[in-house]
Structure 1
């Protein structure tokens, strides 16, 4: 079983920003002791476990932030400006790899028609595509 000092060393290692010398000073041990601990199987196992936990917590936080980002992007779909809505739709579709297929074609159509009419039509086409993807049960990542 690891000592409180060893657990403190692991905490500092996982926290980051500390050198071996600093960790040794904080734990009131020599640098060599820290190096010896790092070779110890039980210490390595506990350190790996702590690192895995930090990674897991970070991934969960990123997922939460991603949800907020997607919510904000979703709000842009209701913007007054058609160009903002179109940009939001393109961003969403690019993220789910749908919009790439018609990107060049859409630009040509906007040039031929008035930009507002073309944007409105493209938005409707894209909304239909989104609906089909969601209805089809494909996961959006």
Structure 2
């Protein structure tokens, strides 16, 4: 298994659920220059991946001031982390995050989740829940990772 930057967005998009893919394509043209994509490849097939944003992605426009605060502190936003169905429960999300952290050992990251079932996954991967945000009536939780543990 290898951890690689995406050669093109299609490489990652082809594994995503259709609704994610359609949503990402609505903004990709404007964000591809400020967004990195990394994938896990096994037997020449993309099995997991995610996007690393260096400016506020559209799904966070509802909290633009909060987003900008984290970017100004040097954090990058992780979004659309995905593992293909047949490879779930094999620790690939953690493997993807660990490769990303190893590739950029001093980089800080932030992300949001809507499903609290993911809390233990992110806590296990050294993210800390910082606060709740509200997107209309939907509560989301903001998590941060600081390799120096300073936050």
Task: State the TM-score, normalizing by the size of structure 1.
Answer: 0.25
Structure ID, larger Rg: 1
Task: State the TM-score, normalizing by the size of structure 2.
Answer: 0.24
